[in-house]
Structure 1
Amino acid sequence: MSTYHFRWQQALAALPQMLDGAAVTVGIALLSMAVGLVLAVALTLARTSGNRLAGGLAAGWVEVARNTPALFQIYMAHFGLGAFGLHLTPVAALLCGIAFNNAGYLAENFRGALKAIPDTQTRAARSLGMSSFQAFRLIVMPQMLRIAFLPTTNQMVWAILMTSLGVTVGMNSDLAGVTQDLNARSFRTFEFFAIAAVIYYLITKAVTLAARLVAWRLFKS
């Protein structure tokens, strides 16, 4: 019976490469969140607009994003769109897949937050001469974002973890991709993936703690 010999020194020597991959992971997650937030606001407005076509399309987006695997969404961006002649790079496919997923979940969070805001606030803003758009932008949206802030933080954590699915479409510059390449060259599976798991954990904990600090500073009143 063979015994596995740990070689942590060899794995730790590759830590700078893994940290570079971690920076790519965070960058993709942040960009996907930025795109997802913009799309989520648009989806929320469409679902609450009263327009049946816009509301139906937005509701369909949310249903697909929330009820199909994130891996499926990334595959559709990379392989599915290729069937129509649109070939995305692994980075672009990963970004599109995660942003699509983020938009669906965030739109539902925002819709729930909107329901918590009394309609009287919009009516009061309109009585002061504001347009519907001004009332939403200046009165409703700040409250909506405040209520949905912590759920949005959870989605950011999920986006960071979803970037690891990029290896399935050939992504090799993020943390999961770098770790996979290092493992393929050295076969030190436990060491490399254990270190990667610790890095993922530290990143997500840092995001969570930073969000709590921001929430305390912004919403302590």
Structure 2
Amino acid sequence: MNYTFDFAPVFTAWPSLVDGVIGTLKMSSLSMIFGLSLGIVFMMMRMSKKPALKAIAVGYIEMIRNTPILVQVFFVFFGMPAIGIRLSGEQAAILAMTLNCAAYAAEIVRGGVQSIRPGQIEAGRALGMHAVDIYRFIVFRPAIRAVYPALCSQFILMMLNSSLMSSVSAEELTYFAQTLDAQTFRSFEIYLTLGVIYLALSQFFSIALGVIGRVYFSYPAK
């Protein structure tokens, strides 16, 4: 093997890679927040006694969970202009990731809600608690606590899937790495560095989400 390793182009281009990390963090964080919020809405629709709402939620969840996220972002970026909706690469990426995250979050949270025993809700009513407080403290918070590790895993997976958003020119980490590769042809060094950065980002999200879990979902409730 006569290949000569040269990481100099990677070190020279570190400002671009930093911009890519910032873009990845931005898109992933926004998609997590919006996706979880929308997922809770679809979870409530999924558990509704109204057939129409339940059918809409089930149809959406099954459609998203059984199609590739790459196809979903292509639909948002290339397909939606046909009906007059044009988004930038970053906007399309955030929307596609949000919609994808919402479907998985809805099912994860639904599992947590179904783990709450009906007797706990009845006890809250017997104590005279308001319906909002019952849902907040007896249903929602314990449900999220129960499924929090699964949600964290899903969020980290979504962050890693953000690398696919480079296909619509969303300015995230992989996009900048591909641009650098086209300029320098140092594929081995660039993608090895890229893998290390994604590993570090995964650890960062794991630690950050763990801290959030200990602060908001620890016993006793704060």
TM-score by length of 2: 0.92
What one-letter code is carried by the residue in structure 2 that aligns with 1:196?
Answer: L
Match status 1:180 vs 2:187: no
- Identical aligned pairs, as a percentage? 30
Alignment of 1:2-151 (within 5 A): 3-151=2-150
What one-letter code is carried by the residue in structure 2 that aligns with 1:148?
Answer: V
The alignment's C-alpha RMSD in Å is 1.7
The alpha carbon displacement at 1:189 in A equals 0.9
- For structure 2, list consecutive stretches of 5 or more residues without a partner in the other structure: none
- For structure 1, list consecutive stretches of 5 or more residues without a partner in the other structure: none
The alpha carbon displacement at 1:59 in A equals 0.9
Give the corresponding residue for 1:201: 199
1:44–1:111 CA contact under 8 A, matched in 2:
yes
What one-letter code is carried by the residue in structure 2 that aligns with 1:202?
Answer: A
Corresponding pairs, count: 219
Could you report, residue by residue, the CA deviation over 1:57-105 in whole angstroms, capped at 9, with x for unpaired residues?
Answer: 1111111121110101111111121111111111111011110110000
SS in 2 for 1:87: coil
The alpha carbon displacement at 1:3 in A equals 3.1
Distance 2:49 2:25 in 1: 37
Aligned structure 1 segments of 4 or more residues deviating by more than 6 angstroms:
none
Distance 2:9 2:80 in 1: 40
Distance 1:5 1:60 in 2: 53
Distance 1:155 1:11 in 2: 30
What one-letter code is carried by the residue in structure 2 that aligns with 1:147?
Answer: A
What one-letter code is carried by the residue in structure 2 that aligns with 1:124?
Answer: A
